[in-house]
Amino acid sequence: MEFLRRAANPWNQDVWIGISWDLMWAAVIGGLAFLVLHAVIAWRTPKAESTAVAETGDPAIPDRILRHSAASRAFHWLMSVTMFVLLITAFFPLVGIRFAWVTIHWIAGIGLILTIVYHVVYATMKQDLWSMWIGAKELKEGTQEVVGFLKRSPPATSSKPGKYPIDHKLYHNTTAVITLAAIATGVLMMVRVDTPFWARNPYLLSDQMWGIVYVVHGLSGVALIATIMAHIYFAVRPEKWWITLSMINGFIGKKEYLAHHDPKRWVVTPGPGARGGGAAPPKVTGGAAQSPKAVPQDKQSDRLT
Amino acid sequence: MAVIRDMIPAFDLFQPTSIEDAIDLLDQYGDDSWVFAGGMDSFDWMKDRIKRPTAVVDLGNIPELKGITSSDDGLEIGAMTTLTEVASNSDVTSRFGLLSQAAGLVATPQIRNQGTLGGNLSQDTRCWYYRAGWPCYRAGGNICYASAPLAMNREHCIFGADRCVAVNPSDTATALIALDAKMVVHSSKGEREVDAEDYFIGPGIDITRMTVLETGDILTTIRIPGTWAGAQFYFEKVEDRKSWDFALVSVASALVVNNGRIERARIAVNGVAPYPMRLDAVEAAVTGKPQNEETAEAAGDIAIRGASPLRHNDYKLPLMKNLVRRALREQAP
Amino acid sequence: MATIGQDIAPPDLVAKVTGRAKFAEDFRAEGMVFAKLLLSPMPHARVRRVDASEALAMPGVLGILRAEEVPQVDAPREACLTDEPLYEGEPVLAIAAVDETTAADAIDRIKVDFEPLPFVLDPLESLRPNGPDARIGGNYFFRPRGSDIAEFRSHKWTDADFAAAGEGQMPMGEPRTEWSVGDLDAGFDQADLVLDETIVHQTLSHHPMEPRSCMAYWQNGKLYIHPSTQSTARTAVGIARSMDLDPDDVVLIGPYCGGGFGSKISGSPTMLIPAVMSRKIGRPVMMRINRYEETYIGRSRPGFQARVKIGFRNDGRVTALDLYIVEDGGAYGSGDFNTAGTVASLSYQPLAMRLRGVSLYTNTPPRSAQRGPGGAQIVGMLEPIIDKAARQLGIDRVAIRELNAPDNNGWLGPQQGRLTSAYVREALAMGKEIFGWEEKSRLSGQRNGTKAIGVGVGLSPFVGGSTGYDGLVVIRPDGKLYVHQGIGNLGTHSMADTARAAADVLGLPWDRVEVVWGDTSKHLPWSSNQSGSQTIHAHTRANHAAGIDARRKLQQIAALDWGGSPGDYVVGGGRVYHRSNRNQGMTFGRAARRAIQLRGKFSGYEMDDDLNAMTVASVQALAGQGLIGAAKDNYGREGSTWTFVVGFALVELDVETGQVDIKEYTAVADCGTVIHPRSLAAQIHGGGVQGFGIARSQRWVYDPQWGVAFAKRFYTARPPGILDVPLEMKWGAVGIPDPQTPVGAKGIGEPPVGAGSAAITSAIADALGGQCLCRTPLTLDVILAALEGREQPYGPLETHV
């Protein structure tokens, strides 16, 4: 299998022109293999005893806990639409479904950039940026969890995460890096497309530099195929439905909260004006326990968002 | 590896005598195969060693691909019929003079003797960046050299650019679109018929091909229905020189005019887009209108709406506009 | 009956039309193998490393030739292979193999590591203060007369120079060459009308039908070579010099040449490749050049970017002409612009004139003379401007040319040199008559549907002859006259037609004349190059002198045998006889036998001591074979010999498409005595058609980013074809003999090109209502943009488009 597509430029110099599209199939196959493997192991693994704390939680904890604000959900779904459009316009023509894809692709790319800019601004202003930080302890726990999963014996002492479990954080951060690489290269590639705003100029960078840009864009594209396959897979797994549902309606139940989260790491208290019973949406905070900038515990509860 | 041009490397030559055998060969060799009609486009690619098929399938010995026959109220032309025959055949000249005119203006007498109708329709673009073997989009690369800021693109397109700005070079394509012809394509999956205008595809659909033909496909027959037989035809090819040239812009129109009123119209232009362009908007605008200067003027303006010229081909706008006007004017007897 | 003035088929005709004629690539030798070239992909580069191991390991591959193995030359000259290619397509190395396919496949497998170097395509870019230079070290070669300095230097203009030029005008910084005649300021002061125009003339490939293929082998230390060359004797001498061989050790056989137009005057640098390769591998080597390679190595006419300011008096007289030419000298330099200035001075005889010019190296293929070098460019560019003045001054366009044209007292160039003859007014008058100017010029601007009629006239002078070469004839015992010709066979028939001078001097009918040409082993005399429209002049003189020498010897032999003085004997009809008694004499055959017996000067054992060494060697080799006439052209000449051609054209310009259709063309030459009418017509018309291509369609296109050529095939370069030529073309010749040459003939090869080009640029301007677009080629996009009032497709100084 070739990894790169190369060509002789007009001066007969060897240049990269992109990744081999075999890598697209490699990503699909790799992604599928992961899903199958995971599904088989998960199926053969005995269900862990559910921790029976659900019923006895702190009465201050509301029945419904907001996991994703409307704004976050809007971002997620808008971004996923642009991402799908980008992937479809990028890869469907390669598998023989032919249509004029370039304009749709770059417009969707701009859409993606806008949603991500929104997300970054929102996360900076309204959310805790550090909530996606992965600390050493968490990493250790995560490793144990993976090892346990593979051995089909979840660690008994598994500690519970804050708002975002380590696998979510890893996924988020990996995808963020890949997406940003795709965006950065994609923005450069926009110079080579005629838009209403500028005429294309393929000579902004040297052939060799463009080769790198195309390879990075291609690699991030195929990587997104695999990561998104995994994302969808987990979203539809029955044991994760509660999370998937929260991306639709925003909330998780108190039971899930207590079962899957460490209330110390993700502190949930009713907001001012809460009349109990959880009728009004409580305010929640993302746990910052793993933040390297140690935030005093007492302050954490103030960090209501 | 160093570049060397104008020297054909060795290849295996197959000369099947039936369509089935030809298709079998194409399937057997897949992407290494090459369909060879008259060779007028093929030799260029092979001489320059840019396309290097290992199995060349010459259709010249398949009798069923040659000749012009009457069918129903129209004509069936084998794809391997030479352009000279298309230009001079009495059935074509008497009823579909538009096609004989177009075929008669292709290149030179020698090329018309050797070149075929199918080859003329299916030939690759003449963009010189692409034909120089540069790794452009059409060649599977990631760049269009012809639309770069200082590029030499006087021959390139004003419509339909999608990364690639090349134009379709065929003279007969517009005539067949105006005549509402159908292209019959054979492959191992059987036979399919494609409208002439759909036979040509733009770079948005597939940047590496000019037509619907994919590996393993053979254009076998061109069917011309009787619908436009004896209509008022106009063909014009504007070129830099009269001996052996490709059209800068060409136009073909078929009109049915009754009492000075255009009842039906089909018009197509080539040299302006990566595919021969049927001018639906013009057809709609002139249908039912009197055939006069006013209609022609308006049609010319409509024709170039939305055109976006490159650095050196702005002249194609007035040229196309004027040719469309001419195509709709009453012809001197 | 005299042969001069008759239509007589040349002796090469049957072989040509039957295909039996052998051109360079038709020669074969025992064990012959094939060479192919590796061309540079970059416009300027240095070869860092070559890995040919894979190629050389292929079965059938016999050897490689690198730049260091071929004859070395001093800068700025061109070697046949180079490790510092200066233009895309320059040959870097050659491979020999048992067949061409193997050689090509071997090239395919060579890895060359090229280091790209800065390059420049447009001389105006190179003139910018920080503009790139085509060579490491500069953009022109500095070698002042009488100095040891010989090096590349950089010539730049200042920002102020560029800023000083108006919108669309060519800037004019410091020139490299300048001359002037008369008081320019006074000239412009006298002017009632001053025109100031910026002009672009494209570079043009020569595109001969036969590419410069060559076959060579060695036998007993002698080099046998079959190049495609315009000249024979001079090319052989040149090869000997380049290969460091004694001229006797070069046998050049090339009796046919499929066109050269100045690109193969003494062959081409690449013809040495098979010679050196053959010496290296010990096999005869054929190097067939294909069309693709030919466009790179096949030479080209230098393009001009120019600015001209011309002052006219109310009556149309040119009072001042100020011409500034920036010339694209290509990879190895050129000086056409000097000739352009001389031609301009000659055409218009301005009261004052200045020429300034700068010719710069660029990274584009080598330039060379192309049929009317400098002249064809300048007349095609200036003639529509003269028309513009005529229109503004209300003068007939032929009349303004008649007014300014030179006559026998005309002058030219910085030294205000004199002419041997000039019958321009006679040519204009004859052209007006044949073309029907009075009636046609009234059609100017008329419309026929969408077609506008344009009528044009162009005057094109070019140098028409040299002097001082040798003639060599032998009357053999068979009674025939053998005229040995060292000039080549370019297809112009001059190798046959100039022999007529000797035939007529000897009063011999043509069927008893044999022309010996195209093979240096057949003992040829020292000759002019087959170029520069020299041969009809130089070699009617040389053969006339040789004929006179033979005649004198015939008379002397007759006097020896029959008594009396040589002056009593006349020569004619194949005999020499006493003026008062036809029977007192002998046939040429008998005279030849007597000459052999008499030895001495009669049969070549003695000869004049002013003959060139090459002629001496040939006479010595022929000694004893018959009566030998050998003489140098010592006929005097004062002034230089110039030929004038006037072209008249009627075109139809389609105002909706910009297409130009040449409907009628007439050209009339002042070329002195007409030697061969049919051949003269072919020259006048053929040159005219070449001019049509320059004016209308022929292109030379480069991608500015990569410096790579595109118009390198016939269909992209677009020289005119048969359908681009009017059905009927008329011609005439003034026919007044030049008084300073014995036969009266002046050369005709070159001036018809400018006449064709200028008649068309003038006619197109006329069809556009007097608008001079001041650019060639006038393709339909340029014309349509003007007609539709849209922006021009190219900038006013943009070149290589």
B37: closest CA of chain A, how far (Å): 26
Q: Nearest by CB to B141, which of A17, A201, A203?
A: A17
Residue C659's contacts (CB-CB under 8 Å, 6 or more residues apart) are B238, C653, C780
Give partners of B (≥3 CB pairs < 8 A): A, C
C551 located within any domain: yes
Please write down the HEC assignment for all residues of C7-73.
CCCCCCHHHHHHCCCCCHHHCCCCCCEEEEEEECCCCCEEEEEEECHHHHCCCCEEEEECHHHCCCC
Closest listed residue to residue B282, CA positions, set B155, B122, B161, B174? B174
The mean pLDDT value of chain B amounts to 96
Q: Does C293 touch chain B (CB under 8 A)?
A: yes
Indicate yes or no: CB of A193 within 8 angstroms of CB of B163: yes
pLDDT in tens, A122-150: 888 877 767 777 777 777 877 877 777 77
Please report, as a single letter, which amino acid is at residue C457.
V
Domain count, chain C: 3
* Bridge partners, residue C357, by sequence: C177, C325
* Rounded Cα gap, residues A109 and C584, in angstroms: 108
- Measured between CA atoms, how close is B150 to chain A, in angstroms? 9
- Cα C343–C351–C373 angle (5° rounding)? 5
The CA distance from C91 to C89, in Å, is 6
Q: What is the CATH number of the domain that holds C530?
A: 3.30.365.10
Q: Are residues C426 and C447 in the same domain?
A: yes
CB proximity C798 to B under 8 Å = no
DSSP bridge partners of B265: B255
Q: Which residues contact C127 (CB under 8 A, 6 or more apart)?
A: C139, C155, C156, C157, C173, C326, C358, C360
C366 & C403 share domain: yes
CB proximity B11 to A under 8 Å: no
**pLDDT, position A124:** 83
Q: CB C41 to CB A203 under 8 A?
A: no
State what percent of residues in chain A have pLDDT above 90. Answer: 34
Of the candidates C341, C402, C411, the one whose C-alpha atom is nearest the C-alpha of residue C375 is C341
Mutation choice for A interface testing from C90, C109, C110, C706 by most A CBs within 10 A: C706
The yes-or-no verdict on residue B127 having pLDDT over 50 is yes
Å between A188 CA and nearest CA of chain C: 20
* Maximum C-alpha span of chain C: 86
Using CB atoms, which residue from B1, B241, B242 is nearest to C111? Answer: B1
Regarding whether C616 and C492 lie in a shared domain, the answer is: yes
C377 and C309, same structural domain?
yes
End-to-end CA distance of chain C: 54
Size of interface B-C (CB pairs under 8 A): 126
Q: What is the pLDDT of residue A74?
A: 87
**Of C607, C632, C657, which residue sits at a domain end?**
C632
Is C710 in CB contact (< 8 Å) with chain B?
yes
- Chain A CB contacts of B274 under 8 Å are none
Q: Cβ–Cβ of B144/A200 closer than 8 Å?
A: yes
Asked if residue C285 lies in contact with residue C227, where contact means CB atoms within 8 angstroms, the answer is no
Structure tokens at B86: 């298309």
Q: pLDDT under 50 in chain C at which residues?
A: none
Lowest pLDDT segment from A102-106, B225-229, C496-500: A102-106
Paired residues of C729 in beta bridges: C665
Query: Is residue C24 included in any domain, yes or no?
Result: no
* B190 and A CB contact within 8 Å: no
Q: What is the pLDDT of residue A126?
A: 74
Q: Chain C 490-529, CB below 8 Å of chain B: which residues?
A: none
Two structure tokens written together for A303: 């960090």
Place A96 in a pLDDT band, splitting at 50, 70 and 90: confident
Nearest-CA residue of chain B relative to C693?
B241
A interface mutation test: which of B127, B131, B138, B143 has the most A CBs within 10 A?
B143
- Same domain flag for C568 and C697: no
Beta strand residue intervals within C533-641, DSSP E: 569-572, 575-578, 581-587, 627-632
User: Which candidate in C125, C703, C727, C787 is best for mutational testing of the B interface (most B CBs within 10 A)?
Assistant: C703
B316-328 and B293-303 are packed helices; what angle lies between their axes, rounded to 10 degrees? 140
Name the residue in chain A with its Cα closest to that of B137. A17
Q: Is residue C356 part of a domain?
A: yes
The pLDDT-based confidence of A1 (bands split at 50, 70, 90) is low
Reported as a pLDDT band with limits 50, 70 and 90, residue A288 is very low
ipTM > 0.85 for the complex: yes
Give the pLDDT band of residue A57 (cuts 50, 70, 90). low
C661 and C721 within one domain: yes
- Give the tens place of pLDDT for each residue, B74-98: 999 999 999 999 999 999 999 999 9
Q: Which residue among B7, B108, B248 places its CB closest to the CB of C104? A: B7
pLDDT of residue A283: 45
Is some CB atom of chain A closer than 8 A to the CB atom of B206?
Answer: yes
Whether the ω angle into residue C76 lies within 30 degrees of 0, i.e. cis, is yes
Distance CA B63, CA B80 (A): 9
Confidence tier at A50 by pLDDT (50, 70, 90): low
Question: Domain B12-60 has what CATH class?
Answer: alpha beta
- C461 and C475 housed in the same domain: no
Q: Residue C570 belongs to what domain range? A: 470-632
If you measure CA to CA, which chain A residue comes closest to B212?
A: A98
Q: Whole-model pTM above 0.90?
A: yes
CA C254 to chain centre: 19
Domain end marker among C632, C658, C675: C632
- C457 beta partners: C648
Determine contact: A98 vs chain B, CB below 8 A. Answer: yes
pLDDT reading at A259 higher than 80:
no
Domain-ending residue, one of C100, C117, C134: C117
Q: Which residue has the tokens 């004198």?
A: C552
State how far the alpha carbon of C353 is from the alpha carbons of C318, C344, C411, C412, in Å: 10, 9, 12, 10
Say how far apart CA C254 and CA C297 lie, in whole Å. 20
Mutate to test the interface with A, among C42, C51, C117, C712 (most CBs of A within 10 A): C42
What is the least distance, in Å, from the CA of A8 to any CA of chain C? 11
Kindly state whether residues C620 and C644 are assigned to the same domain. no
Give the domain ranges of chain B.
12-60, 68-122+168-328
C720·B325 Cβ contact <8 A: no
User: Tokens 């060379």, residue?
Assistant: C368
What is the CATH number assigned to the segment(s) B68-122+168-328?
3.30.465.10
C677 — alpha (psi -120 to 50), left (phi > 0) or beta? alpha
- How far is A303 from chain B, CA to nearest CA, in Å? 50
Taking the CA of residue A12 and the nearest CA in chain C, the distance in Å comes to 6
User: Would you state the pLDDT for residue A64?
Assistant: 79
Which pair of structure tokens corresponds to residue C12? 């090469």
Q: Name which of C314, C475, C361 is nearest C84 in CA terms.
A: C361
pLDDT of A286? 42
Residue that is written with structure tokens 């009453």 in the block: B330
Res. A275: pLDDT tops 70: no
Which residues of chain C are within 8 Å of residue A11 when distances are taken between CB atoms? 41-42, 114, 116, 706, 708
Do C256 and C20 contact (CB within 8 A), yes or no?
A: no
Per the CB < 8 A criterion, the answer to whether C644 and C459 are in contact is yes
Q: Rounded to an integer, what distance in angstroms lies between the CA atom of residue C215 and that of residue C566?
A: 49
**What is the tens place of the pLDDT at every residue in C182-208?**
999 999 999 999 999 999 999 999 999
Q: Which residues of B touch A7 (CB under 8 A)?
A: 135, 139-141
Half-sphere exposure of C654 (CA within 13 A, CB side): 19
For residues C413 and C443, membership in a common domain is answered with: yes
C793, part of any domain: no
Q: What is the pLDDT of residue A292?
A: 38
C490 inside domain = yes
Return the pLDDT at B188: 96
Q: What is the pLDDT of residue A284?
A: 44
- The arrangement of strands across the sheet holding B190-195 comes to B68-71, B74-78, B218-224, B182-187, B190-195
One domain for residues C512 and C447? no
| C751-767 vs C375-393: helix crossing angle, rounded to 10 | 40
User: Does C555 map to a domain?
Assistant: yes
Spatial distance between the Cα atoms of C382 and C692, rounded to a whole number of angstroms = 16
C137 contact B CB<8A = no
pLDDT mean across residues, chain A: 79
> Which of B3, B52, B142 best probes binding to A when mutated, by most A CB atoms within 10 angstroms?
B142
pLDDT-derived band at A257 (thresholds 50, 70, 90) equals confident
Two tokens, residue C544: 């006339």
> Is B164 in CB contact (< 8 Å) with chain A?
no
One domain, residues C532 and C408: no
CB B83 within 8 A of CB B74: no
For residue C20, count other CB atoms closer than 10 A to its CB: 9
C-beta separation of B172 from B181 below 8 A: no
A12 to chain C: closest CA residue: C41
Strands (E), C623-719: 627-632, 642-654, 660-670, 702-703, 708-709
Inter-chain contact A203–C705, Cβ cutoff 8 Å?
Answer: yes
In a domain, C689, yes or no: yes
Window 28-87 of C, Cβ < 8 Å to B: 36, 38-39, 41
Q: Going by DSSP bridges, is the β-strand pair C513-517/C481-485 parallel, antiparallel, or unpaired?
A: parallel
Residue B135 has its nearest CB partner, among A8, A192, A199, at: A8
Closest CB to B4 among C107, C656, C787: C107
pLDDT tens figures, B36-64: 999 999 999 999 999 999 999 999 999 99
CA A101 to chain centre: 25
Band of the pLDDT at A65, cuts 50, 70, 90?
A: confident
Mapping DSSP to helix (H, G, I), strand (E, B) and coil, where does residue C108 land? helix
Six token digits for residue C645: 């051609």
B43 touches chain C (CB under 8 A): no
Do C427 and C487 belong to one domain? no
